[in-house]
Structure formats: C-alpha cells, structure tokens
C-alpha cells in the first residue's frame, strides 16, 4: 500500500483493478476544506489517460512493476521482438500493448521492458531518441517565418513536424512523450 501523499511521477498503482502509472501529480491545500492530490494517470495496458483526485492520506495499492533492459531485435506481423541483455530470453509484445511510442522503436535500440506478475506489460522508452529523416519536402531559401513546420518521415516510419530547415539525411532528436522535434544532432 502507498499513501496518496507519496505519489510521484512513474509510480504504478492499481485503481479499479487496472494498472495505472502516475504521469503528473499536484498536492492541493485549499484554504477551506481538506487537502487532496490531483493526478493524471496513464493506463499501462491501453495507454489511455485519466485525471483522478484522491483525498490526502488515502491508501492506494501499489503495483510491483519490474523493469528489465532489453534490446529490440525486429518487428513483424507478430509484434515487436525484444531480447534480455543478460539471459538472452526473447519476449514479443503487440503494438497495442506498446502504444504510440512504438513509432520510435528501431532495431538494436535498448529500452526498459516493464513486467508485472511475470508478464510483459509495456515498454518504457527514453525521453528522447535520435532518428534519421528519410523523407521530407525541401525547405526554400527565404522561408524564415517563425514556427512554420513541415512533415518529415523518419527511419522508423513515424511522421513528425519539423522546422523548414531540416533536410533528408539529417539526424534529429525527438521527444517520445509528445512527438515534438527538439533539435538536430551533431
């Protein structure tokens, strides 16, 4: 059990029989009434988000989630195939289980695979990944308007919005949480 006062980002709890990970939390102490904790939770299996408020000090069930570093080998119609770096055990996860971050998985990438009760339940990607741009429209000289973007297709097949100066062949940094362009890699 864990107190709602001890909730932090990344903590996994059981709510209504399902696993939820805390994305954001805020302790609120109104001038009138009792304190409470406002949270935004992400369902581990479906990827949906939910805003939930808990009373201060409310007891919640904490889920035991183990993270194991695994290397992504490849993906096919069966799903995404990962190999444990130490035991060489192979695990296959369906795209639905991984969710949107699957767009940024590339062969050979090392990620944390989450396990609950011995079963793989998801993948925790790093906050930022570097991927190569394979297809985008050329930028034109003189296009200097601020905050103008164009779509770019990455080596993993994902499409993200990038500034006009990004060209094919550039390696760019992407924030995996909100699919946002961060910068070019040197």
- Strand segments, DSSP code E, in 56-148 are 59-62, 66-76, 79-84, 90-93, 110-116, 119-124, 128-136
Q: What are the tens digits of pLDDT across the range 90-148? A: 999 888 777 778 888 888 899 988 888 888 887 888 888 999 999 988 876 666 667 78
Three-state DSSP class for residue 2: strand
Distance (Å) of CA 33 to CA 29, 55, 80, 152:
8, 11, 49, 50
With beta carbons less than 8 A apart as the criterion, state whether 162 and 136 touch.
yes
Q: In whole angstroms, what is the distance from residue 71 CA to residue 86 CA?
A: 10
N residues, the chain: 186
Q: In whole angstroms, what is the distance from residue 18 CA to residue 80 CA?
A: 23
Give the pLDDT of residue 141: 62
pTM of the model as a whole: 0.69
Would you state the structure tokens that stand for residue 165, as one six-digit string?
A: 């100066």
Give the pLDDT of residue 147: 75
What are the phi and psi torsion angles at 148 (to 5°)? -95, 130
Three-state DSSP class for residue 180: strand
Q: What are the tens digits of pLDDT across the range 157-169? A: 889 999 888 889 9
Does residue 171 register a pLDDT over 90?
A: yes
Q: In whole angstroms, what is the distance from residue 134 CA to residue 74 CA?
A: 19
Taking residue 43's Cβ as centre, other Cβ atoms within 10 Å add up to 16
Q: What are the tens digits of pLDDT across the range 21-46? A: 888 889 989 888 899 999 998 887 77
CA-based R_g, the chain, Å: 20
Nearest to 4 by CA among 28, 36, 32, 29: 36
Three-state DSSP class for residue 75: strand
Residue at token pair 């396990």: 115
With beta carbons less than 8 A apart as the criterion, state whether 132 and 146 touch.
no
List, in order of start, the domains of the chain with CATH numbers.
2-62 (2.30.30.30), 66-124 (2.40.50.140), 128-184 (2.40.50.140)
The pLDDT confidence band at residue 186, using thresholds 50, 70 and 90, is: low
């Amino acid at each position: 059990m864990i107190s709602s006062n001890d909730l932090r980002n990344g903590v996994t709890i059981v709510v209504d029989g399902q696993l939820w990970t805390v994305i954001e939390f805020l302790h609120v102490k109104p001038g009138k009434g009792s304190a409470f904790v406002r949270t935004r939770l992400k369902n581990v299996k479906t990827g949906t988000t939910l805003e939930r408020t808990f009373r201060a000090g409310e007891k919640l069930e904490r889920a035991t989630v183990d993270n194991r570093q695994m290397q992504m080998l490849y993906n096919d119609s069966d799903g995404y195939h990962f190999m444990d770096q130490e035991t060489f055990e192979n695990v296959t996860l369906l795209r639905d289980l991984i969710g949107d971050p699957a767009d940024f998985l590339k062969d050979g990438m090392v990620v944390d695979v989450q396990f609950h009760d011995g079963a793989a339940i998801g993948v925790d990607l790093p906050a930022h990944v570097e991927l190569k741009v394979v297809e985008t429209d050329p930028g034109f000289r003189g296009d200097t308007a601020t905050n103008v973007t164009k779509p770019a297709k990455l080596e993993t097949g994902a499409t993200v919005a990038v500034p006009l100066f990004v060209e094919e062949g550039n390696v760019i940094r992407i924030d995996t949480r909100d699919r946002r362009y961060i910068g070019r890699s040197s």
